[in-house]
Amino acid sequence: MKWLHSSCLSCDFCQQADEPLCPKAQLSGYTVDGTFQQYCVASAAHVARIPKEIPLDGVAPILCAGITVYKGLKESGAKPGEMVAIVGAGGGLGSLATQYAKAMGLRVIAIDAGDDKKKMCLETLGAETFIDFSTSKNVVNDVEAATPGGLGAHTVLLLAVSEKPFQQAAEYVRPRGTVVAIGLPAGAYLKAPVFETVVKMITIKGSYVGNRKDTAEAIEFYRRGVIKAPFKVAGLSELQKVFDMMSKNQIAGRYVLDTSK
Amino acid sequence: MKWLHSSCLSCDFCQQADEPLCPKAQLSGYTVDGTFQQYCVASAAHVARIPKEIPLDGVAPILCAGITVYKGLKESGAKPGEMVAIVGAGGGLGSLATQYAKAMGLRVIAIDAGDDKKKMCLETLGAETFIDFSTSKNVVNDVEAATPGGLGAHTVLLLAVSEKPFQQAAEYVRPRGTVVAIGLPAGAYLKAPVFETVVKMITIKGSYVGNRKDTAEAIEFYRRGVIKAPFKVAGLSELQKVFDMMSKNQIAGRYVLDTSK
Amino acid sequence: MKWLHSSCLSCDFCQQADEPLCPKAQLSGYTVDGTFQQYCVASAAHVARIPKEIPLDGVAPILCAGITVYKGLKESGAKPGEMVAIVGAGGGLGSLATQYAKAMGLRVIAIDAGDDKKKMCLETLGAETFIDFSTSKNVVNDVEAATPGGLGAHTVLLLAVSEKPFQQAAEYVRPRGTVVAIGLPAGAYLKAPVFETVVKMITIKGSYVGNRKDTAEAIEFYRRGVIKAPFKVAGLSELQKVFDMMSKNQIAGRYVLDTSK
Amino acid sequence: MKWLHSSCLSCDFCQQADEPLCPKAQLSGYTVDGTFQQYCVASAAHVARIPKEIPLDGVAPILCAGITVYKGLKESGAKPGEMVAIVGAGGGLGSLATQYAKAMGLRVIAIDAGDDKKKMCLETLGAETFIDFSTSKNVVNDVEAATPGGLGAHTVLLLAVSEKPFQQAAEYVRPRGTVVAIGLPAGAYLKAPVFETVVKMITIKGSYVGNRKDTAEAIEFYRRGVIKAPFKVAGLSELQKVFDMMSKNQIAGRYVLDTSK
């Protein structure tokens, strides 16, 4: 089961395989009961199909974060060999995004903060360049310097939860490039000067979660072993404890709940 | 001759037929001397080729306004049968955009003000619906009401010269729809809430002028007689008078200068 | 109800809105009982939705022939202003294809035989040029002569029921152009020389019937009044008589059965 | 310098960056003097730009074979994660195609003959599966068995120099899949049954050499070190000897001529 619990499968959007845009879409744990329980009701048409050889706990983080960033990369239209700047590359969404991007033949400029994330992005996840926004004198210049001809990134993937990068991205994306917004900072606005957007022919677009096809594809990348998603397992009975740790910012990677415990 | 006087024809952008994005592009009347003179220098590779049967004065407005709106419609990705809302449909750019849209099989929702423009948009230019923003109680509602299922317009073309429509368009574009910015209000910003942009998967993009291919295509539509561009002719010697009328907002349609007079 | 009676809605193809490619697709009157009866079973998810204001007999021909040619035009990737050669333009599929093409902003070169069809194509259906293959000295030359620069048609739509045009189309399609096969001559082969196909970068593709979205779109064109499909009505009790006329080639346009009679 | 020596840069095709389709294109060593000499004339607009850090002898095979197969993969529209069957994967074009495909995130089914080629394809070039057409009981079945759900390959790249694979590919390509013809067997024909092509909605297309942008991209993949092209160097004075070896089929990999010797 994934965030998109079900959709009508017959509206204009479902007919074009845009189930996430269905006006009657149900969302797990939001509009219908979710998965913090031993048994739950699922929609046969929408459940993800997990190949038998995949460990259920390992694939769990793919079903939300993985699908979402994979969809964002597809929506960007980025082509193999092009450069994608990932803002928040060392976080939960970002570490998956960096791996998917690499598996899709893209070259990653990882933007995040701190030496731990730098090491992880460059050595484990496969990024080509790391830019530390907390120490960089000028992020825009640094992104441009990391791209051929200094022209900027073909694609920017916005996974951050603060507003600033949403307004800065249009400055370091390449003419004809695309900025994809995925993260959802509360109350934030996309903002870009009309003049530069027009004369540089920049595209800014939002990408939500994936449809059933994107789900199958994102899982297949995982099955092939090209995506790693570090996680720890906790029992359902430990749910409150995990929430407490999350509130205190003490979680690295993902926690997966074993509902049988 | 058109706004894009020349480009290098060998940079990354020229190689992909995006000459308007060439860093070495020259602009007529801006970076090189323009056409307010009897003789001027042109770039052989970039001059528009005007078929012999076309009157030179009639095609003149196509070479800037026509190409620009035609390019914007192409960039929108709008498909025949879809609905495009044109903001400023009754103006200089808009009256051409409405005709090109219709010739491309699109259905036009014209947004502008005043009964004269309403009449022109519906009876002469081929729009399907007219929304008067000066009298409408709620432009967003009115656009939605004009679209099948009330879902909003597939495409919004922004030709206005004030900032408000640039921020309002994201509200009445359909999920998965595209807002194309073309007009250039001084100092204006595109602004859209991150949340709605993401969950509705909206695209916002800038479109600048056309390349050589767009130019040839835009002229060919004109040659076939499906585009009309009303104009008056004045002599080059009357240039100051025409500028004065423009300053006083006394010009409807376009003035074309005859440089031999 | 249409030719595609139902599909599984959950396989790889249904997930990407390619219901016609579903391995479990059911076909009306072929794998399940069809519509030559007063009552029949339909799939709720697949029935076409007919707006109330449309006459049921009038729209009937759209549900098979209309959808099929509209889909073929979409699959061709032809863009407004481009030229499409329609082989069999005066026939049942062709007369609809010519109208859809025109409504989509395409310019039609109608290829068929006889003065009646010539008149219909040019005066009623909106074709720009008519080529009579029964009297033409050289169809390839004639198609090229009808296109700008003599370069050939951007798109060729093959609706014929003989094999020859399927092998001739590659000769008069423009470099980078697309030949779309739709008609199904028994036992016929597409055939094209490797050398010319490669150096002219030609695309040859098959297009089958439309999906649910294509169906809704094809009907919407009809609802707007831009597509006419001449037909006669006969009672279900007259079915054998209609078949006899068909065998004798005595039917022009389409016969629609009124199952209440 | 590459096969495409020059083009007019102003025709309809050059304007859309399809320089290889230019009617005035000049071809090195065919319509103009080529590179079997110490000095030759080149077209400034068309020469490939080789970054300084790349060895000139190493990149030489990229400039014809590399560009051509890279272009074919781009033209196929294959998306990262999809499966591409490469016919002739172990040959001169094929060994490059397999590496480019892998670098573009595609999964390769290599089709060729012999244990040496099997080993090279699987262990050196990065193919996922090898099918030996000389020993396979049924190539169609074997390709299908290598693809998820047995549906066939999303893309087939035809690099062979015999006619049979050109007619067989349509049988093991997946519905909605694409067959790209690149190799040029003398006098060969593409041939596919109309019925299967239509109901499976298959695309067959030719791909010629790349344009200037494709050239730059293909070289950039090589510069990044993800493409290896084994070669030996011979002096220009040894040209006849190299031709003799080629006639006797005694060359594995590529010979590069050093024109200074």
Question: What's the pLDDT tens digit per position in B131-178?
Answer: 999 999 999 999 999 999 999 999 999 998 888 888 899 999 999 999
Distance CA B46, CA B42 (A): 8
For a pLDDT cut of 90, what percent of chain C falls above it?
Answer: 82
DSSP D169-212: HHHHEEEEEEEEE----TT-EEEEEHHHHHHTT-EEEE-----H
Spatial contact of C82 and C155, defined as CB atoms under 8 Å apart: yes
Which of A83, A85, A74, A54 has the alpha carbon at shortest distance from A228? A54
CB nearest to A104's CB, from D80, D148, D224: D80
What's the DSSP call for residue B28?
Answer: B
C10, C211, C213 member nearest A45 (Cβ): C10
**Residue A93 confidence (pLDDT):** 93
Q: Is B51 within 8 Å of chain D by CB?
A: no
Chain B contact present for A229, CB below 8 A: no
Whether residue C223 contacts residue C47, with contact meaning beta carbons closer than 8 Å, is answered with no
Cβ of D212 under 8 Å from any chain B Cβ? yes
Could you say which DSSP state residue B236 is in?
G
Could you give the C-alpha distances from C93 to A221, C131, C159, in angstroms and in order?
A: 43, 17, 7
Q: Give the model confidence (pLDDT) of A214-259 as tens digits.
A: 999 999 999 999 999 888 999 999 999 999 998 888 887 788 999 9
Task: Enter the tokens of residue B105.
Answer: 């099989």
Beta carbons of C18 and D176 less than 8 Å apart: yes
Q: Which two tokens mark A190?
A: 């996309």
Answer yes or no: do C149 and D202 touch at CB < 8 A: no
CA distance D46 to chain C (A): 19
What is each CA distance from B22 to A199, B70, C133, D135, in whole angstroms?
11, 20, 47, 54
The answer to whether residue D138 neighbours chain B at the CB level (below 8 Å) is no
Taking only the tens of pLDDT, chain C with its 261 residues reads: 889 999 999 999 999 999 999 999 999 999 999 889 999 999 999 999 999 999 999 999 999 899 999 999 999 999 999 999 999 999 889 999 999 999 999 999 999 999 999 999 999 999 999 999 999 999 999 999 999 999 999 999 999 888 888 888 999 999 999 999 998 888 888 888 999 999 999 999 999 999 999 999 999 999 999 999 888 999 999 999 999 998 888 887 789 999 988
Q: What is the DSSP string of B97-140?
A: HHHHHHHTT-EEEEEE-SHHHHHIIIIII--SEEEETTT-S-HH
Chain D residue whose CA is closest to C194: D189
- Over residues D95-132, the pLDDT tens digits come to 999 999 999 999 999 999 999 999 999 999 999 999 99
Contact flag D221-A148 (C-beta cutoff 8 Å): no
Residues in chain D: 261
Specify burial of residue D187 (Cβ count, 10 A radius: 0-12, 13-18, 19+): exposed
Per this entry, what is the length of chain C?
A: 261
> Could you say which of A163, A189, A195 has the minimum Cβ distance to residue B184?
A195
Say yes or no for a CB contact (<8 Å) between D12 and B45: no
CB D178 within 8 A of CB D205: yes
pLDDT for B165 equals 86
Is B252's Cβ below 8 Å from some Cβ in D? Answer: no
Q: Which residue of D has its CA nearest to B215?
A: D15
Q: Which residues of chain D have pLDDT under 50?
A: none
CB atoms within 10 A of CB D134: 7
Is pLDDT at A149 greater than 80 in this prediction? yes
**Is the Cβ–Cβ distance between C111 and C86 less than 8 Å?**
yes
Evaluate whether A43 touches C241 at the Cβ level (below 8 Å).
no
- Tell me whether C203 touches chain D (CB under 8 Å): yes
Task: Give the pLDDT score at C206.
Answer: 95
Please report the pLDDT score of residue D69 as a whole number.
97
Best mutation target, D67, D104, D147, D222, to test chain A (most A CBs within 10 A)? D104
Q: Residues 70..89 of D with a Cβ closer than 8 Å to C: which? A: 75
Residues from chain B that touch D12, judged by Cβ atoms under 8 A, are 213, 216
CB neighbours of D199 closer than 8 A, spacing ≥ 6? C206, C208
The strand pair at B203-206 and A203-206 is best described as: antiparallel
Q: Do B17 and D17 touch (CB under 8 A)?
A: yes
